[in-house]
Amino acid sequence: MLEYELKLNNFSYPGTVVIQQSKSNSESRFYITPQNKFKQTEPICTRCNRKAIDNGYYKNRTKLVNELGLEIKYGQYECECGNRWSVRCEEVDEFVARYKNIIKQLVFNLCGFGLSLDKISETVLLTFSKNISKEWIRQLFLKAASNIRQLKVTKTSGIFHYDEQVVWINGKKFFRFVIKDAVLKNVILDKKFDNLEKETVKEAIRIALAHYNVSVFITDMDLKYPDILNELYPDSKHQLCIFHLNKLILKEFIDSLGKKIPLGQLYNMYSLFNLFFNHDKEINFLKKQLKKLSKVESKEYEKQLINEFYKYRDSLKRNRRRKMGSKLKKRTKNQTLKLLSKIENEAFLYPKKLKKRIKLIRKNLDKFAVFQDNPLVPPTNNNVEHYYSSTLQKTDKKRFRSDSWLNAKLELFKARENGLRFGVVNFFEFLVLCGKIFMLFS
């Protein structure tokens, strides 16, 4: 790369900066006029070695240079032999390239955190004190995203999460399909589809996992999954998400009894939650509350006892968070079978919807208990849920205006999750270069 040395003590006339550009075997002298023209002091033709004449100039019309408020003009020359050329300031070219690279890194990182174009534009303004248009940011990101080369996933555990997320483009509903390795955390599929029909889901899964062995799938409680997975991978096992099971149990209690669930039915609800995760503390606390209630029959007293339980439950959650993400203990299969038998014997105490739910749990127990036979299998689909929340949250998934923008962001999310790291810029070197350019041309 050419080296430039700024000669602040060497002026051709007031306001003109002279620069010496040096190579290993030759020297050329340049100067910048008060009109910001970058010119050679002795323009010699590279073809015939004769002195050339000034032939005007052309402006640097790079969008970045214009947005920064700089005016840079490159001198043009013509020789009698017909050779024409223009002066190039390589530091300007390097400055523009580095500046764009830094903006690109910033835009990629902010897009990866799910920020809107408005927020990205605002952050660039605060960081660089320059007002960069949203459209330029969009185009810069789209161009860079089109060059993403996904790292090929060569190794998998054979245990996969699958889930779908609704996204919106100009008010029209689309569906984001995600397949993620449950053990190695690699994202195998993250792509937009037009519908949720069985054949669409089946074909998407088949193509994405065509080169991998599949031993276990973890999904939510959607009724279409068992048939799809049985057709594609008849020898694989299917783990249904316990988190979604508990959400359905809660919903059915609320549908049957309203949001203010009585104390006795809270005990029944936590007895179902207790099947696959250890909720003994909540169960024992509810037993004590029921014993207190049996001595004082009062609606107001029952509300007080329920509120005390909720406070106790919340304290348990806070304590788990304080213990570096401590989790609920998983039940063994023998424990689950014993607890389920007890619940079945007391099923007459449950609302009608929950009686059906208890029968469905018994019928599909092999799909709820895969994690109890294989410690590598997670009992929930939370890995995908966390991936969604770290990429597209509820409000962000409604902000898309074009297919290209959504597809580019999905490519970015997948690449980042799989360990692709984008180029690192030496910010200090860039600041030195930036100061030099502004000193020359401002």
Polymer length in residues for the chain: 442
Amino acid (1-letter code) at residue 304: Q
pLDDT in tens, 236-268: 999 999 999 999 999 999 999 999 999 999 999
Within the chain, all domains assigned CATH 3.30.420.10 are found at 159-239+382-417
Bridge-based pairing of strands 37-40 and 216-219 is unpaired
pLDDT of residue 12: 32
Q: How far apart are CA 424 and CA 207, in angstroms?
A: 34
pTM for the structure as a whole:
0.70
Would you state the structure tokens that stand for residue 57, as one six-digit string? 């100039």
Three-class SS of residue 189? strand
Amino acid (1-letter code) at residue 196: L
Would you state the structure tokens that stand for residue 46, as one six-digit string? 């590279």
Could you tell me the CA-to-CA distances from 98 to 74, 87, 94, 104, 428 in Å, in that order? 20, 21, 6, 10, 11
Query: Taking the C-alpha atoms of 394, 251, 254 and 365 in order, what is their torsion angle to the nearest 10 degrees?
Result: -160
Mark residue 408 as left, alpha or beta (left: phi above 0; alpha: psi -120 to 50; beta: remaining): alpha
Contact, 107 vs 137, CB < 8 A? Answer: yes
pLDDT in tens, 322-341: 666 568 899 999 999 999 99
Per-residue pLDDT averaged across 398-422, rounded?
73
* CATH architecture for the domain at 159-239+382-417: 2-Layer Sandwich (3.30)
Q: Phi and psi for 306 in degrees, rounded to 5?
A: -65, -45
Residue matched to tokens 């054979």: 158
Q: What are the residue ranges of helices labelled H in 235-323?
A: 242-257, 263-273, 280-295, 299-322
pLDDT in tens, 205-234: 999 999 999 999 999 999 999 999 999 999
Inform me whether the pLDDT recorded for 8 exceeds 60: no
